A and B are shown apart, each in its own frame.
Chain A
Amino acid sequence: MKSLKLVSLFLAGALTFTLAGCNGAETSSQDPSTGSSQEASKTSLLLDGSTSVGPLAELLAENYTGGLEIKVQQTGSGTGIQSTLDGSCDIGMASRDLTAEEEAEGLVPTSIAIDGIAIIVNAENPVTGLTSEQITKIFSGEITNWSEVGGNDAEIIVVSREAGSGTRGAFEELLSLEQDGISLVDEAAEVFCASNGEVKQNIVSKPNAIGYLSLGLVDDTVRALDVDSVQATSENILAGTYPVARPFLFVTKGEPAGEVKEFIDYVLSAEGQELVASENYIRVDQ
């Protein structure tokens, strides 16, 4: 009978959902406050945060040969830090230093690489370098035309990131673009993007745009400007002559322990750091 079939189908569905709900114990989060390892061993780790650290984390996850499954989510440094705090991820990825408040909440940063921030322009833009003063003036709206810095007579289109971006936070700190908690770029920028990838897209499609990007993500489609006549390369960052650089952090609530420590140890090992260097980031073990 039709309605009987309906009832049995509904009951079967309800049963399935209940059973599926009971299976949620697999991905329990690590006990953060004591830093001790869980009773039940974990089989997977969730990394969440910076879109700058994300690609490197994905590469490390791919090459990791331990028993854990590593999942990487790229939602921005701010979000990753928040997720680590409330326990919804195992390791937060941040592309800027932690603030005093964040460290006071019990977050522990582990530096896994150093990355430069490239100031990028469209590949067709004749300008090849700027002084840090010029960059600060462009991103705060004091300089508005490319002709003022030796380029074409065209309005500069400033591209920035969302407020929670680690890249943005590091960039604004290094170039004095923040005043009393208010970003000076908010007024000057015309376009705000939610990830490094989106910034790159906007620069590629606008001849007069300028933006900032994780150095590891720069390729032939955009041009990285020289800053104070220093080229944006990892060698120059190591030498200390290219000033716009920030650490890539794996953030944990409390000291890393258990499976989390296993993965972080791998990342800090010679093998992990080889991968870091292979992607043009700077290793932290030398």
Chain B
Amino acid sequence: MNSRTLQRISAETAKWIFRAASIFSVLALLLITVFLIAYGAPAIFEIGPKEFLLGTQWQPNAKIFGILPMILASIYITLGAALIGFPLGLLTAVFLAEVAPPRLANLVRPLIKLLAGIPSVVCGFFGLMVLVPRIMDIQGAGNSMLAAMIILGIMILPTVVSISETALRAVPSSYKEASYALGESRISTIFRVTIPAAKSGILTSFALGAGRAIGEATAVALVAGNKVQIPSSIFDSVRTLTTNCVFEMGYASGLHQRALFATAVILFILIILINIALSVLGNKEEKHE
């Protein structure tokens, strides 16, 4: 067999390896999704959708499974983390991509990436030892929604910064040059040309950041207080959907265990909704342009 045939064989083999890899990835996602829904969704109907989704008490021993306080906690905490992490992350990305001298940018960028490498439990512990006592000085027990929002806001920074920075850098310089040619200042160009042009990448970074925030269990369990109640202030102790699963999955059995899977299904749906919302936002803007 000559070298050309050999080349074609290896090229075909390589293609099949890549196909196999992607099939495996999609299969893994499908398997998890199907298992989750198959195991958890029936529980929602067994408990009753209204009792489950709108119930305010979670007492497994008495067969009461209401997750409204936890849905609200997860949503509020993710919103709070987004309010902290998105602006901070985007502006840092702008700094790294547009404003900072290259030597400073090359120093700051790896530091932010290092933040991504810190394990969640360490972030949570930092929150418990440093942040929670300060919040306690203001109001409440310290373990609160606010603590979770701040810690999560910090934890999603690396995701938002690195993906937004890549998106900003990908904006063709011709856009910026055209803007300068029309007399716009540097800062004005950044906000009126570069950022809108990088919108889809920036929104992707937001979606990933929000997904990380709503799915975080370890760090939140250490600082949020974990009381099952509908919060009336950010200083209240709350329990998220993720923490509830983590606390009880280890020993739950029967309907209790299926109810926890149902909780995970709701979490899954929330994450999908966030992604849809952010992608609709991205597409809407593109249409106008």
Contact = CB atoms under 8 A, between A and B. Distances in A.
A55 to B, nearest CB: 19
Interface string A171-206: 000000000111100100111111000100110011
Interface of A: 1, 3-4, 6-7, 10, 75-83, 157, 162-164, 180-183, 186, 189-194, 198, 201-202, 205-206, 209
B228 interface: yes
Interface in B131-160: 132-133, 136, 140-143
Interface of B is mostly: helix
5 contacts: A6-B10, A78-B250, A182-B61, A191-B225, A192-B225
A191 B141 CA distance: 8
B143 A164 contact: no
Contacts, number: 94
A105 to B, nearest CB: 10
Interface string B212-251: 0000000001100111100000000101000000111011
B17 A7 contact: yes
Contacts of B132: 205
Interface of B: 6-7, 10-11, 13-14, 17, 59-62, 128-129, 132-133, 136, 140-143, 221-222, 225-228, 237, 239, 246-248, 250-253
B251 A76 contact: yes
B247 A6 contact: no
Given A79-B251, A163-B247, A190 B227 contact: yes
Given A82-B250, A164-B247, A190-B141, A181 B61 contact: yes
Contacts of B61: 163, 181-182
Contacts of A83: 250
A142 B121 CA distance: 34
A186 B59 CA distance: 9
Contacts of A202: 128, 143
Contacts of A76: 250-251
A180 B62 contact: yes
Given A82-B251, A190-B237, A191-B143, A181 B62 contact: yes
Contacts of B252: 82, 164
A81 B251 contact: yes
A7 B17 CA distance: 8
Given A79-B251, A205-B133, A6 B227 contact: no
A242 B132 CA distance: 34
A163 B128 contact: no
A80 B133 CA distance: 33
A186 B251 contact: no
B228 A186 contact: yes
Nearest to B128: A201
B117 to A, nearest CB: 24
Contacts of B250: 75-76, 78-79, 82-83, 164
B62 A3 contact: no
Contacts of B228: 186
Closest 4 CB pairs of A and B: A78-B251, A79-B250, A181-B61, A3-B10
A82 B13 CA distance: 46
Contacts of B62: 180-182
Contacts of A209: 141
Given A1-B10, A3-B14, A162-B247, A192 B59 contact: no
Nearest to B221: A194
Contacts of A191: 141, 143, 225-227, 237
A164 B251 contact: yes
B133 to A, nearest CB: 5
Contacts of A82: 250-253
B226 A157 contact: no
Contact of B227 (A77, A189, A201): A189
A82 B253 CA distance: 8
